[in-house]
Structure formats: structure tokens, C-alpha cells
Amino acid sequence: MTRICLKKSGMQLLFEMKIPGITDLKPLSLFFIYLLLLSEINLSAQDTVSVRLNLKECIEFGLKNNPGLQSSIYLVEEMKAKTDEALSGYYPAVSLNSDADTYSKNNGSQRYNNISSGINFSYNIFQGNRIKATYGASQDNYQASRYNHETLRQDLVFNIIKAYYRILQSEWILRSSEESVNNSRLHLDFAHARQKAGMATRSDILKSEVELSNAELERIKASNTLLAAQGNLNQLLGMPADNDIRLVDDLSLIDKDFLPAYDSLLNEAFSLRTELKRYQSLMNAQMKYIQVAKSGYYPSLSANASYNYAGPEISAMERNWWMGMTLSVPVFKGFSTKARISQEEYALKGLEKDFELLKHQISQEVWNAWLAVKESYERIETSEKAFESARENLSLAEGEYKEGVGSMIQLTDAQTTFVSIEQNYIQALADYKISFAELERTIGR
């Protein structure tokens, strides 16, 4: 009895086969068994390979699968359907009606039956521009919903970019923490070696062990921070939080183009930001709602017609028709029309103030984002130089300690300083990428 173990997609499959002996097998049989084993090994290798996604692919995937953005699309379609509903006011109303009723008089001594069937027609000729204003307002609201959807889309893109670079930042910090653990173990080995040579005290051993313990804690923290960052990006992409997502690392690719002037960026933001366009559409709709309210002062005129057959029974039904026009002139409604107009006018003034406030907020957002890009780029240049100096200082401290001319305190200080400056440099790289994306978002590109 011979056992063959195959692995595929993390599962181990165990087969038991009766093989009479290798010498008893024909060469062709051996060849097929070899192909079977080789194919399983190849499939297993293919299943374990993870495809790395670049930033563009993540954005495209998120725009396609994010549930929140999909919900926003349905809201836009809902507003479009409301526009179609408002358009129906321009068309006549036609209905088919059939009635059958009976009633009695004089304590039931007289009974009457009536059966009718026909078609009714009605058309609103004039309602004080109510239909036109209502339809126009629905169009503006539909446009506002489209701008709101575009705002949500831009927010999603920015959040994906932010989550993308937070993952890369976490990966870099995790590698830095793992390197710190390895260095701390090396330092502990140095201390043990010097103690055996009679050149180090028990204090050096304890300091090295504390350094290693702290490095292990930072590695655990960095590992969980990475998992949390991956869960955040998965949520934005519409994926399970525990999905093992792998990204193309472009954190070190820095665009060194000159940063445009703040004034030009602000003017561009005022012309591109969909939030401002949305408020403009809402204000246009509100002005039309004022027209709808004012239509209450005007008379309404409608045309009506009917054609039917009616009678006490089906065999005795006779043809009937009538047509006419209805004019309704409002005389007094308890000042409700005036109150309605005031409501709509106050709502318009509120939107105008909100629009003004939004412009101030956008101005502040662009200013803060512009400063953040400027600051993060300057931090990269400074921390990069400090990083190289800290690396050299750590190398010197390790060499001096090995030669017996340095102390463990100097070595641990150099290690701590190096890790701190390295992670500051990583933070600056990620902040630059994110702040640049935030500047693009605040402009409305």
C-alpha cells in the first residue's frame, strides 16, 4: 500500500493506492503518474500566487463594487423618474370607467338600477405656470442628485487612495519593525559574546532583552495596523474585511512638480467642485418652487369631456356624451398662499447662505490641503537626510560595541533613534501621497 499526498488551495488530499512496486510498473504508467503529480504541484503553486493590484485597478474595482456608490446611482435614477412624473402634467388624462349601482326610494317600494361604461378626458389648460415650474424644479433636483453622486464618487476615490497608501505605509513600517527585531537579536548576541569574553555586565544583557521585547511589541502592533488598513480598503472595494489584498508598491515614487499657486487652485475649485454646482441646482429648483407657490393666486382652467353608454340594464343602455370647460378663480384661502410663498422664499435665502458658507469652507479646505502638500514634501527632504544619518550612526554604534569601545546604552539609543527616524520618513512619504490626493479632491478634479 502506497500513500500519495497532494496539496491544493490550502487543502491536503490523501490518496491510498495499491502499487505492486516500481519495478513492476510499465514506463508509460510511470510517466502518467509523474504528469499527475506535476500538474497538482503546478496547480497548487498557481493557487498560492496573489495578484497585486495597482492604484488604478483598486479605484476601478471600488467604483464598480462599492455598495454606497451603487445606492447613490439608484437615487439618481429615482430623481430621473420623478422628473418623468412631473412631465406628465403637460399631457391630458384619459380613463375608462364602468359603474353598476342600484338604489331604492319610498321605503324600498321603488328601485332603480343604473349601468354605465365609457371614457373620460381631462386636460389642464392653465394653472398659473404651476406645471412648468414643477417640471423645472424636478429637473433641477435631478441635476442636483447627479452632482451629489459625483461628489460621493470623488470622495470614494480619495478614500481608496488614502487607504491604499496607508496599507503601503503599514507594510513599510512592518518591515522596519521586523528589521528592528532582527537588529535587537543581533545586539543581544553581541552582549552575550562580550559577557563571555568578560567585557560586558549583566546590565548589558538586560538592556538588550528589553530592547528586543520592545521591538517585538512594535512588530505586533505594526502587523495588526496593517491588517486594519487592509480591512479598511477591502470595505471600500466592497470586499470582505479579511480579504488578503496585495498592492503594487509605489510609495517611494514622488512627483516633484512645482506646486501651483493657491489662488489659481482656489479659482479652479470654485469652477469644478460639484458641491457648489449641486447648491446652484437646488437654488434654481427653490426659485421654481416659489413660482409654484405664487400660482395659487392665479385662476385655473381645464377642459373635460366624457363619452359613455348608460341605462338601467345592459340591453337598454343608451349613448351619452358631454364636454365642457372649468374655470376656477381663487378668492380667499385664509392667507395660505401668502404663507406658502414666504416659506419658499425663506428656504431660498437659507440655501443662499449655505452656498456662501460652502464657498468659505472650500477656500479653507484648499488652503489646508495646499499647506499639507507643501509641508509633507519638505518633511520628506528633511527626514530622508536624517534617515541616512541615523543609519550611519547605528552602524557606527554597532561597530564600536563589537570592538569594545562603545556602550550598550549608546547602541540602544542609536537603534531607537534609527527606528523612529525611519518611520518618520515612511510617514512623510505616505502623507505626501495622501495630501496630494486630498488637494486634487478639494479642487474637484
Q: What would the pLDDT profile of 382-419 be if each residue is shown by its tens digit?
A: 998 999 999 999 999 988 888 888 888 888 899 999 99
Higher pLDDT, 156 or 188: 156
CB 187 within 8 A of CB 400: no
Angle at Cα 257 formed by Cα 254 and Cα 263, nearest 5°?
125
The grid coordinates listed for 4 are 500519495
With a cut of 50, say whether residue 21 has pLDDT above it.
Answer: no
Q: What pLDDT is attached to residue 196? A: 85
Q: What pLDDT is attached to residue 5? A: 42
CB 265 within 8 A of CB 312: no
Neighbours of 219 (CB within 10 A): 20
Q: Is the pTM of this model over 0.85?
A: no
CATH classification for the domain delimited by 54-93+129-297+332-443, as one of 3.40.50.720, 1.10.3210.10, 1.20.1600.10, 2.40.50.140:
1.20.1600.10
User: Phi/psi zone of residue 168: left (φ > 0), alpha (ψ -120 to 50 degrees), beta?
Assistant: alpha
Domain ranges of the chain: 54-93+129-297+332-443
Could you read off the pLDDT of 198-230 as tens digits, one per residue? 787 888 889 889 999 999 999 999 999 999 999
DSSP secondary structure letter of residue 66: -
The mean-pLDDT minimum among 40-49, 235-244, 270-279, 321-330 falls in 40-49
* Sheet strands side by side (includes 300-311): 93-105, 110-126, 300-311, 318-328
Could you read off the pLDDT of 84-110 as tens digits, one per residue? 999 988 899 999 998 888 878 777 677
Helix axes 262-272, 336-403, angle to 10 degrees: 140
Could you read off the pLDDT of 274-317 as tens digits, one per residue? 999 999 999 999 999 999 999 989 999 999 999 988 888 877 88
Among the listed residues 4, 406, 392, 23, the one whose alpha carbon sits nearest the alpha carbon of residue 187: 406
Average pLDDT, whole number, for the chain? 86
Higher pLDDT, 5 or 261: 261
Confidence band for 15, pLDDT divided at 50, 70 and 90: very low
Q: What pLDDT is attached to residue 13? A: 37
CB 164 within 8 A of CB 58: yes
Angle at Cα 29 formed by Cα 24 and Cα 33, nearest 5°?
115
Mean of the pLDDT values across residues 36-65? 68
Mean of the pLDDT values across residues 249-268? 85
Q: What pLDDT is attached to residue 1? A: 44
The mean-pLDDT minimum among 36-50, 165-179, 232-246, 278-292 falls in 36-50
Q: Give all strands (DSSP E) within 133-183, no chain letters.
A: none
Mean of the pLDDT values across residues 17-37? 48
Neighbours of 404 (CB within 10 A): 10
With b for 16 or more beta-carbon neighbours within 10 A and e for fewer, the 78-112 pattern comes to ebeebbeebeeeeeeeeeeeeeeeeeeeeeeeeee
Q: What pLDDT is attached to residue 260? A: 83
CA distance 190 to 186: 6
- Kindly tell me the sign of the dihedral angle through the C-alpha atoms of 19, 23, 26, 30: positive
In the three-class reduction of DSSP (H, G, I as helix; E, B as strand; rest coil), residue 2 is classed as: strand
Mean of the pLDDT values across residues 23-44? 48
Confidence band for 26, pLDDT divided at 50, 70 and 90: low
Element (H, E) at 284: helix 274-294
DSSP secondary structure letter of residue 25: S
CA distance 131 to 92: 12
CA distance 191 to 404: 10
Element (H, E) at 317: none
Distance of CA 204 to the CA centre of its chain: 52
Widest CA span of the chain, in angstroms?
A: 130
Q: What pLDDT is attached to residue 224? A: 97
CA distance 217 to 236: 29
CA distance 437 to 131: 45
With a cut of 50, say whether residue 173 has pLDDT above it.
Answer: yes
Q: What pLDDT is attached to residue 257? A: 64
Among the listed residues 371, 372, 376, 358, the one whose alpha carbon sits nearest the alpha carbon of residue 444: 358
CA distance 380 to 374: 10
With a cut of 50, say whether residue 6 has pLDDT above it.
Answer: no
The grid coordinates listed for 151 are 461628489
Paired residues of 77 in beta bridges: none
Could you read off the pLDDT of 63-78 as tens digits, one per residue? 999 999 999 999 999 9
Q: What pLDDT is attached to residue 28? A: 52
What are the φ and ψ backbone dihedral angles of 252, each rounded to 5 degrees? -85, -5
Q: What pLDDT is attached to residue 367? A: 96
CA distance 387 to 379: 12
CA distance 163 to 172: 14
